[in-house]
Structure 1
Amino acid sequence: MGGTGRRTTVLVAVAGVVTATVLLTGCGAGADRTASRSDSAAGGPAAAPDGGANQAGPAGAAEGADAAGKSGTTAADLRIGQRAIIYTGSMTVRVKQLDRAATELTSIVTGAGGFVGGDKRSSDSSDSTATLELRVPADRFAATLERIAGLGEPERRDISTRDATEETVDLDARIATQRARVDSGRRLLAQAKSLSDLVMLEGEVAKREADLASLEAKKRRLADLTALSTITVTLLGPDATPVVTVPEPGFLTGLKGGWAAFLAALGVLLTVLGALLPWIVALGVPGYLGYRLVRHRRRRSRPATPVVGAAAPTTD
């Protein structure tokens, strides 16, 4: 009886497994047929002809990229030719005739499409110098430096660049956001119902407009520095002394200055100590010996103090 019950249980289990397998197979086939019908209706891979892969090639990718660029935010162009580079240079040139060289320098700058932003000259015959601040287009920066070097004998040249591309992109984004905030504030101001709301919104709109004006001023300044490079030229006469350059601020410059000041102070201290040492030996040693002698005599001449609480001698 027990064997018959076990056989029945095994048969029931086998029948359940077979039934589950059949059901799962039918569901999988149905899902595949459904996916095929959906692909055919959508014009997907199942309905695409043999040339569909070619049609979705570079032309399709380009169209998708154009559509994405029109619908979304375009990324900043960070190629070398599109970067915002600020060029700054300085040069010291020794010339034979100072005034003539300054005139030629002005002609070089104006011929390159720039202008002279500052002109400072010293007419001392023994030490004649001229310092001119030039603004030239960025694409003429290197050529202008070479022409300036040809005016005489170059003694010093310093060129530096600063990449302001990220700063420019950040300013553009902040200006766009601030303009949207100003527009929304003005719309709220036009819908104000009470006097308190009107006063509050006027103050908020004025603050937003001031922030927008500040950002736009920074953008104009950055655009000016990017479009026009700055060159500071120092012209030296035949007998003029070289211009001493001031070191740029920084940690190493401060460390060098502090170490030099420490050595200078130590030298002064040692000098003073060396000057005072003979006096210390000549006066200090006899004074110290006299002090010890006086102190010793005082100790010997001081009377002995009786011991407090000592027992008096007894007499019989």
Structure 2
Amino acid sequence: MRATARRRWGGFLGTAALVAVLVLTGCSSRDEATNASSAADTAAVGGAADRGSGGKDGAAPKAAEPGAEVPSDLRVDQRSIVYTGSMTVRVKEVERAAAEAVTIATGAGGFVGGDQRTSDTGDAQASLTLRVPADRFNSVVDALAKLGRQERREIKTEDVTEETLDLQARISTQQARVESGRRLLAQAKSLTDLVLLEGELAKREADLVALQARQRRLADLTALSTITVRLVGPETVVMEEEEEEPSGFLDGLRGGWEALLGTLRVVLIVVGALLPWLTVVGVPALVVIWLVRRNRRRRTPVGPFADQPAPVVPAPRNEPPADIPADSTN
């Protein structure tokens, strides 16, 4: 019994020690990976800056020290920027202009992400979603504007440089944690340790896959810009979207007044729907009620003594017979 208990306690202590080693190894690997990724990012940024400026005396760029912070004042060509644009162009022939827009996008190395068209007479229009390389964004927008008469253009940019660098550092850290988990899994000697390490490794791999998916999505947005172009015919009426104004007292007053008018409108609709029924059913009901009340009034006696109560007749007394004296005794 003592030997069995010792073996159980020994297995428990071994599992606890293995978990502690796993946690410490993951933390140290994460710190090392973070420092290494920060140093690599700093070195890459510094090398790109030196190559862009030509350096001094042709000297090679120096690597950044480990743990150094990434500079935030990067040049425009070194930053990760997401470009999105939307425009409305009035053309003579919508189908022909749509075909030319597709040709412009594919010729710039992009593709069509969405295509919606209506060919009604007098109201023909097309809405195209184009994905083009970021370095050809401005040239493609200018080419699309020349398809007809440009009526609206809106371009938005979003700087995601810091998010990109942070995501890259987190991926490096997570990769180091996955590698350390795999090494410890290969050294597992008991079934309990194997199950525990497999669960931890699966969790780390899932986190790594999620980070890599975010990185691919971000890289796609920065590499390919999105342009939404709306082509309308010469007689098509374009409904412009109203810009949202900040809410305030006047907006609240306007909303309350509109709600009151809406309530009154509903009440009038209900009254209008019930009015025919009230006319058909209510009028005969009122006539019947009037006739019933009239008959009741006729049955009630009318005169000077109608309101006087009936005379009260006194009850008879129990008197003895006349031939027997009242005070006689046997």
TM-score, normalised via structure 1 length: 0.60
Deviations 1:71-92 (A, max 9, x none): 6657357222100000000001
Q: Trace 1:152-301 onto structure 2 (pairs within 5 A).
A: 152-245=148-241, 252=246, 260-268=254-262
Rounded Cα–Cα distance in structure 1 between residues aligned with 2:143 and 2:131: 15
Query: What's the CA shift for 1:106?
Result: 1.0
Q: Give the drift of 1:66.
A: 2.4
Aligned to 2:86: 90
After TM superposition, give the deviation of residue 270 of structure 1 in Å.
7.0
Counterpart secondary structure, 2:103: helix
1:75 equivalent in alignment to 2:70: yes
Matches within 5 A, 1:26-105: 66=62, 69=64, 75=70, 78-105=74-101
Q: In the TM superposition, what are the counterparts of 1:19-30 in structure 2 within 5 Å? A: none
What is the rounded CA distance, in whole Å, between the counterparts of 2:248 and 2:221 in structure 1? 29
Aligned residue for 1:66, secondary structure, equals coil
CA RMSD of aligned residues (A): 3.2
Structure 1 pair 184/73, CA: closer, same or farther in 2 (3 Å)? farther
How far apart are 1:236 and its partner, in Å?
0.5
Distance 1:272 1:70, change over 3 A: closer
In 1: Cα distance, 2:174 partner to 2:248 partner: 40
Q: Partner letter of residue 75 of structure 1?
A: V
User: What residue identity is the alignment partner of 2:259?
Assistant: A
Give the letter for the 1:80 counterpart. V
How far did 1:107 drift? 1.3
Cα distance in 1 for partners of 2:137, 2:248 equals 32
- Aligned-pair CA distance for 1:144: 1.0
SS in 1 for 2:246: helix
Q: Which residue of 1 aligns with 2:122?
A: 126
**1:213/1:152 CA distance change after superposition, 3 Å:** same
After superposition, the Cα gap between the structure-2 partners of 1:181 and 1:255, relative to the gap in structure 1 and judged at 3 Å, is farther
Q: Which amino acid aligns with 1:121?
A: R
Q: Secondary structure at the match of 1:252?
A: coil
Measured in 2, the distance between the counterparts of 1:115 and 1:256 equals 46
What secondary structure does 1:155 align onto? Answer: strand
Looking at structure 2, the residues matched to 175 and 226 of structure 1 have their Cα atoms a distance apart, in angstroms, of 18
Paired residue for 2:283? none
- Which residue is 1:38 aligned to? none
Quick one: which of 104, 108, 130 aligns to 1:108? 104
Select the residue among 134, 147, 160 that pairs with 1:138: 134
Equivalent in the alignment of 2:278: none
Give the distance between the partners of 1:245 and 1:125, measured in 2 at CA: 24
The residue identity in structure 2 corresponding to 1:204 is E
Structure 1 unaligned residues grouped into runs of 5+: 1-57, 277-316
In structure 2, relative to structure 1, the CA distance for the partners of 1:191 and 1:244 (3 Å cut) is same
Q: Distance in 2 between matches of 1:116 and 1:141?
A: 14
Amino acid at match of 1:126: G
TM-score where L is the length of structure 2: 0.57
Give the number of the structure whose residues are more often helix, by fraction.
1
Deviation at 1:260, TM superposition (A): 4.3
Task: Determine helix, strand or coil for the equivalent of 2:188.
Answer: coil
Question: Retained in 2: the 8 A contact 1:247–1:253?
Answer: no
Question: Does the C-alpha gap of structure 1 residues 164 and 94 become closer, same or farther in structure 2, counting only changes over 3 Å?
Answer: same
Q: Distance in 2 between matches of 1:171 and 1:208?
A: 16
Q: 1:256 to 1:215 in 2, by over 3 A?
A: farther
Q: Residue type matched to 1:177 in 2? A: T
User: What letter corresponds to residue 70 of structure 2 in structure 1?
Assistant: A
State the distance in 1 between where 2:175 and 2:207 align: 10
| Contact 1:76–1:169 under 8 Å retained in 2 | no
- SS of 1:136's equivalent in the other structure is strand
